[in-house]
Copies of this chain bind each other. A is one copy, B any other.
């Protein structure tokens, strides 16, 4: 099979690290966005489950058990291929198996990680109040461990670019733009 020439920017980050800001920056730059978590939320809906953190977490693990560690990546590949832009922002990479799956199909893959301390992430999520946000430190930490159990830490450790989200929003925003521009420049010769 001929490699697809699209550029994949795979993004990893623990819950609340700030991936959404990076995604917003990618959208502003005209990049198409594929959100891996949407596959899990869609699957929860298909199975008639509310998108609570417990259900979302359970489906994330279940899908991988039923269809293998690349289940979610495989569902995203056609969406990446059909994306409007040459460079596609893929939000929510969770394991090196997913990275390898993308590298088998796409010639150009870069990995970006967003990092915040657990304390900062917990503060942020406690304010956000999304349906799958944690109700307390214990729920938060269990969710972290679930994310790590599928391999998210490995992707963060081996990322090509690391963005630290610990200072002000403006600093973080400036850094996301800088990194996205560096990735785009790398592949768009």
Which residues of chain B are near A160, meaning CB under 8 Å? 117-119
Structural contact, A162 and B119, CB atoms closer than 8 A: no
In whole Å, how far is A8's beta carbon from the nearest beta carbon of chain B?
16
A124 CB to nearest chain B CB (Å): 15
Question: In the complex, which of the residues A151, A154, A155 has the most CB atoms of chain B within 10 Å of its own CB atom?
Answer: A154
Chain A residues 142-178 with CB under 8 Å of chain B are 144, 148, 151-162, 164, 166
A115 located at the interface, meaning its Cβ lies under 8 Å from any Cβ of chain B in the complex? yes
**In the complex, what residues of B have CB within 8 A of residue A59's CB?**
none
Inside 8 A of A164's CB, which chain B residues have their CB? 162, 164
Residue of B with least CB distance to A113: B115
- When distances are taken between beta carbons in the complex, the residues of chain B under 8 Å from A144 are 157-158
Residue A14 at the B interface, CB < 8 A? yes
- Are B161 and A157 touching (Cβ within 8 A)? no
Interface residues of A (CB under 8 A from B): 14, 96, 113, 115, 117-119, 144, 148, 151-162, 164, 166
Known: A96-B148, A119-B160, A162-B162. 14 other contacts (CB 8 A): A14-B158, A113-B115, A115-B115, A115-B162, A117-B159, A117-B160, A117-B162, A144-B158, A148-B158, A152-B157, A153-B153, A153-B155, A156-B156, A157-B157
